[in-house]
Structure 1
């Protein structure tokens, strides 16, 4: 009888085991971990699918090695490369499903990626860096986790910046001795980057900064800090948050770097500048006052008058500060920015009265009577909405010089024209940086023939 009971127990156990196997055969494996895009989000999605799979198939009833093998079967070949680069205390831990999941989570969420991380096998460090580089280069849009992974290792960051042409690749003949070759070497004593281009001929020993001629030249911040600052600036992070996150003691340093970003905007807008409007198009023009009144020792200081125009058809705009609102000031600016043959709509300010004699069709709307002219249909609602948009972009309310306002207006135009429709705003701005600061060997030779260049200072704008 006992034997019969034992046999029934054994049969029941085998039946239950076969049931689990059958259930797993009918449940598809989770889709592989997607490494492109937002890795943190992709990992969380994969982890939910994996957890559900474990519950449905009762996989947790199996031993650790079986569970780990199942995970590695479905996670994908690229993720396997990452797994091979992670370090474990021993083979038992490498086959421990909880340890493996924890290592992947730390990798994907960026919580233990520092150079001294105990979770990176130094012998496999290059493999991990290569995997990370592949991840970042494959990103169609970079999120902050991607920037974090990119900047945790200075060598990888330099490789990435060099590949994109943002810092120079000076490998080749030494510009000083002509016989040696410049190669990139580790040099902890040379700046904060720990890397330098150096001639292989000992008697020459010429060194060239990896920042030479680039946007990074002359700054005391590390390139990692600058790259993170750029991300924060692109996505309009408040200055006090940037200061806290980058651990930068001086607020003025970050103010300068915000100005450097607007310098890039200025340079690109100037190089790509073209008139708006033309025959068959309509441009609305208006002036608006920016800044709040403030009182100091009884003297009232008003804000800044700004002239703006927007082409209805293309939505292209121009904005510029004004010393006054006279015709002698307004007319030359309009002729500079608006093509002849354009239909221009303004209010009834007397300074605009001669536009019809200068090659434009001029329509007006009397705002004291109506917002839209009942006879011609003329209105300036589009430029009015532009003023509201500009004033809501964080423009300083006071304490900014009149000329400096132009840099904020140019930033608004740049963001509207080059960033708003970009697939990735961060990468788009880096392309603009490269356009303005193009490092090349000619600049290195020029510097060697003259005195070393002074540190780059923020743009000085005359009041």
Structure 2
């Protein structure tokens, strides 16, 4: 029976027995609950001690001119082809690691190494796998914010800028973020360059038609009236609201970006930036007890497409 929604915290998740944890993973489609033997086409038996499916049924096969009775030797790991596949770590350790990853603040690597006992390579590999799951979740078109009669505040922020032009050179990243008034729905997009076309593309991909948009990026992206008059059709029905004090009207979006600055580590790499943004959006979308359910549901969809895991 698939889980349609459950509330479970990190401590409660750790207290689950091996049997209960495996059943919880089956309910969330992370691992299969049943498997058919490929040789005799009968249900295989699940073994908890190594999390695999085996079949020992006797069957009759033809060898030359005689019919011989042989024993089936089908054996396959329950993790093969799943999000937990291609890993040397146990299922229990991986599930507990993901639970800790969702509730631990940065810097995570040192904390997770100390708690789980994993090596730096294992922590790095599974951290990347968790971020890829968040990226897959955030890329769903159904996550768009806004709608008819709603207001979305849009602001931008620059990450990696040196203070007083001192220190080593950092990777500078621009982020456009938006938040829907009266809800916790947000979007964050990493952009390579600024401009009107960039803003239109970001809004069309992340904001639903019929939404009133307030932004404080007029110095780079143009004023709202210019945007509305130039590209009213290409904006997919978005209405740009002209405000006398855009900084005050976008205070919720600016507050969100300030919190994002505290969330993203200082020494992050440019190619990892999108993963941090997706993780922040995922955390803001659900309460702490809802995150495990939605995370593993998305992990079941990602499956083995994330690539091989060596640790």
TM-score class normalised by the smaller sequence: 0.7 to 0.9
- Of 277, 281, 298 in structure 2, the residue corresponding to residue 409 of structure 1 is 277
The equivalent position to 2:203 in structure 1, one of 318, 334, 339, is 334
Change (3 A) 1:264 1:457: farther
In 2: Cα distance, 1:334 partner to 1:272 partner: 12
Which of 52, 55, 58 is the aligned partner of 1:196? 52
TM-score by length of 2: 0.76
Match for residue 387 of structure 1 among 257, 262, 269: 257
Aligned length: 281
Question: Structure 2 CA distance, aligned partners of 1:140 and 1:287?
Answer: 34
Counterpart Cα distance in 1 of 2:23 and 2:34: 13
For 2:29, the equivalent position in structure 1 comes to: 165
Q: CA deviation at 1:339?
A: 3.1
The alignment's C-alpha RMSD in Å is 3.3
Query: Does 2:46 align with 1:184?
Result: yes
Contact 1:342/1:361 (<8 A) preserved: yes
**Aligned 8 A contact 2:28 2:296 in 1:** no
Aligned to 1:213: 81
Structure 2 gaps, min length 5: 1-5, 58-69, 233-237
| Structure-to-structure mapping, 1:424-463, within 5 angstroms | 424-437=290-303, 455-456=308-309
Confirm or deny: 8 A CA contact 1:355 1:361 kept in the other structure: no
Larger radius of gyration: 1
Asked whether 1:233 is paired with 2:101, we answer yes
- The alpha carbon displacement at 1:185 in A equals 3.7
In the alignment, the residues of structure 1 paired with residue 219 and residue 244 of structure 2 have an alpha-carbon distance, to the nearest angstrom, of 9
Deviation at 1:159, TM superposition (A): 4.4
Q: Determine if contact 1:180/1:200 at 8 Å carries over to the other structure.
A: no
Please list, as runs of the form range in 1=range in 2, the aligned pairs for 1:8-407 lying within 5 A after superposition: 141-144=8-11, 146-150=12-16, 153=18, 157-171=21-35, 173-175=36-38, 177-185=39-47, 194-201=50-57, 203-237=71-105, 238-248=108-118, 250-271=119-140, 273-293=142-162, 300-347=169-216, 348-353=218-223, 354-357=226-229, 358-359=231-232, 360-365=238-243, 371-372=247-248, 379-393=249-263, 395-401=264-270, 403-407=271-275
Give the match's secondary structure for 1:276: coil
Closer/same/farther in 2, CA of residues 318 and 140 from structure 1, 3 Å limit: closer
CA distance in 2, matches of 1:424, 1:200: 41
Report how far residue 283 of structure 1 moved: 1.6
Note the C-alpha offset of 1:261. 1.4
SS of equivalent to 1:273: helix
Instruction: Quote the offset at 1:314 in angstroms.
Output: 3.3
Instruction: Calculate the TM-score normalised by the size of structure 1.
Output: 0.53
CA contact (8 A) 1:181 1:200 kept: no
Deviations 1:83-105 (A, max 9, x none): xxxxxxxxxxxxxxxxxxxxxxx
**Greater percentage in helix:** 1
Q: State the match for 2:62 in structure 1.
A: none
In the TM superposition, what is the alpha-carbon distance from 1:300 to its structure 2 partner?
3.4
For residues 202-260 of structure 1, give each alpha carbon's deviation from its aligned partner in whole angstroms, at most 9, with x where no partner exists. Answer: 55412211112222101121112112211211111532122112111x21321221221
In structure 2, the CA distance between the partners of 1:273 and 1:291, relative to structure 1 (3 Å rule), is farther
- Provide closer, same or farther for how the CA distance between residues 247 and 300 of structure 1 changes in structure 2, counting only shifts above 3 A: closer
